[in-house]
Structure 1
């Protein structure tokens, strides 16, 4: 019986399959925390790098804005108006706006001495020449004044355009350029005012010189008419 039981047990053991061995998973909380902390730090470094790249990109954009330029189409109009003023100033007759030859021109027109050999017709012609020179000077002054008034009307539009670009300046360079444009407009206005004053003073000077010359000629003519004062000698 014992033998039969042993044989049966052996037979059953050969008939039943053996159970496979299973691995036991071991969870380490400290190692998991360390890995999680490392991942968080890595993510923070990536975020920092992204922010740095964003800041660099914004810095490049700002630099591009600071280096951006603006056009100044009014500079041609400003130069053209100054050339028109110069053209009018160059039309001065009799006594021109040039240092070379100024003394000679002034002496010819205003000799400040009465030439006794000059005929009455010659005296009239000389006086007429001085009067014509005076009238021409005032006409030239009025031409400069009219041109300045037209320029002021055009400058109002120019100023509006410059101010608009100044307010819309994106960077430091554009703001500086707008400032330079305003300074150019101011300088142009000062130049034309100086020319206007020069033309006005020239006309006034010619008028005063003509009056002074007329007085000199009148005194000389009176002296010539009266003679030495001893034309009649009593006997």
Structure 2
């Protein structure tokens, strides 16, 4: 009887100790699980992830802005696809050729000095022959006639270039309005200024040619007055300035 009681007592104590160990282990596992899923820690992790995502978004935005800036710089550095330089140079050359082709007295300083002194003398000596006087008068008339012709040719050349000027102006204005960057706008403006300078050069050529004709006409008038004075002096001193010639009024 006493042995059975002792055995039951030992088994009971063993069960109590085992149950105590189990109960002691259960709170420990629950505490560990609560530390892993701590709401404050989770919220902090979410906040850090949000900040990291915001930084990434800012970096992406910065890269987009840099790419946009590079594209704008590329547009600003793009050259104008059209150039009127060759057309303007050709117009300059045509006008210059017209001025270089003037007859008799050209726009050359040395040639003007030599020819002008010979054709338009300041005075005629008393020994100058009538034949020389008549020859000089004819040459002066021919020179003035050619000068007015040259002036008309230059004017005609400038008028013919008006259509080209209008076409170039329209093209450059359209290119300026369709420009994608600052460089294209500047280049279109520079070419328009060059076109304006070319028009001023044409106007200068016209004025020069007309002034040349007027100057030669005035020099011709002055030389004719000197010639008339020389002929009058000869007539008054020698009486040989005019010689009567028989004139037949009607044919028999």
**When the two structures are superposed, what TM-score results if normalisation uses the length of structure 1?**
0.85
Higher helix share: 2
Once the two structures are TM-superposed, the CA of residue 93 in structure 1 deviates from its matched residue by 2.6
Aligned 8 A contact 1:70 1:174 in 2? yes
CA distance in 2, matches of 1:202, 1:184: 27
Which consecutive unaligned segments of at least 5 residues does structure 2 have?
12-21, 240-252
Aligned 8 A contact 1:89 1:144 in 2? yes
Choose the corresponding residue for 2:189, options 176, 179, 188.
Answer: 179
Is 2:220 the partner of 1:210?
A: yes
Once the two structures are TM-superposed, the CA of residue 228 in structure 1 deviates from its matched residue by 7.3
Aligned 8 A contact 2:83 2:191 in 1? no
How big is the alpha-carbon RMSD for the aligned residues of Structure 1 and Structure 2? 2.4
CA distance in 2, matches of 1:175, 1:61: 17
1:99 maps to what in 2?
A: 109
CA distance in 2, matches of 1:144, 1:216: 32
What do residues 176-199 of structure 1 show as CA deviations (whole Å, max 9, x unaligned)?
111110111111111111111111
- 1:4-153 mapped onto 2 (5 Å cutoff): 23-24=29-30, 25-26=33-34, 27-153=37-163
What do residues 55-101 of structure 1 show as CA deviations (whole Å, max 9, x unaligned)?
00001001101110013432111111110111110112332212224
Once the two structures are TM-superposed, the CA of residue 29 in structure 1 deviates from its matched residue by 1.1
CA distance in 2, matches of 1:71, 1:211: 55
Is 2:202 the partner of 1:192?
A: yes
Q: Secondary structure at the match of 1:77?
A: helix
Aligned 8 A contact 1:72 1:181 in 2? no
Q: Secondary structure at the match of 1:100?
A: helix
